[in-house]
Structure formats: C-alpha cells, structure tokens
Amino acid sequence: MLVKALRVGLGQMIVLGDALTRPRPQQRSAQGQATVNDEAARLSLYQFHACPFCVKTRRAIHKLNAPIALRDAKGDPEAREQLLAGGGRVKVPCLRIDAADGTRWMYESNDIIAYLEQRFANVA
C-alpha cells in the first residue's frame, strides 16, 4: 500500500515536472507542418500517463511538433488489447507504425525518439 502510494506520488511529480519544463515545439512552414501531420496520422504511441519513459517520449513528440495519437494502455482496455495482440506484449512506450507494407511495433523510448527525430526533425 505504501509502495503504491509512493509510486503514484512520484509519477505525478514526474508529470508535473514535464508540464513545467516542456520544450518549445519546432516551428515549420505551413507546408512542412502539413507533411508532418500527414505522416504522423499513421503513428500511435501506446503509453502510461506517468511512466517516466513515456514522459520522455511524449516530450520528444511535443518538441518535434508531431501530432501523434496517444493510446492509454493502462486505462483503456481496448488499447491494451491492441498493444498485446499487435506488439506481442504490454510494454510501454510502444510506437505503432502503420505503413503500406504492414504494421510495425517499436518498443524502447530511445529507439522511438531516434526514429521520430530521423523522420521529422529535418522537415522544414
């Protein structure tokens, strides 16, 4: 009981710290932002709200100004089942990438951030 209370309290402190120190979003031309919006529509991030690795990934998404859909794998049973069925395990963060050749599931915050930076950081 005490451990759960500490974990919840610490998670809320992480979320508050993120809200207070969130980086500014990348500025692009209207055409560049439209391109990012179109590409981001094929991505979904499965996450837990207070998970520190998910917060890290959401901060990168915010900084890249990429409107990626967020799926709550903890509070939404349907999102949790999609993650388990598609990705093979309930582990967050997980980026779902829908492409012409199929769907990929990418775990690990550092891998997700590197992928997103490679895909969106240089769009002007």
CATH topology of domain 2-120: Glutaredoxin (3.40.30)
How far is the C-alpha of 35 from the C-alpha of 71, rounded, in Å?
22
Q: What number is the average pLDDT over the span 39-62?
A: 96
How far is the C-alpha of 94 from the C-alpha of 19, rounded, in Å?
21
pLDDT surpasses 90 at 117: yes
- Residue type at position 53: F
**% of the chain with per-residue pLDDT over 90:** 79
Average pLDDT, the chain: 93
> Residue 89: pLDDT band by 50, 70, 90 thresholds?
very high
pLDDT surpasses 90 at 20: no
> Residue 10: pLDDT band by 50, 70, 90 thresholds?
confident
What is the reported pLDDT for 64?
Answer: 97
- Residue type at position 15: V
Q: What number is the average pLDDT over the span 29-34?
A: 94
Query: Taking CA 53 as the corner, what is the angle to CA 35 and CA 122, rounded to the nearest 5 degrees?
Result: 25
How far is the C-alpha of 106 from the C-alpha of 112, rounded, in Å?
7
* C-beta of residue 70 within 8 angstroms of C-beta of residue 34: no
Strands 69-72 and 102-107: unpaired
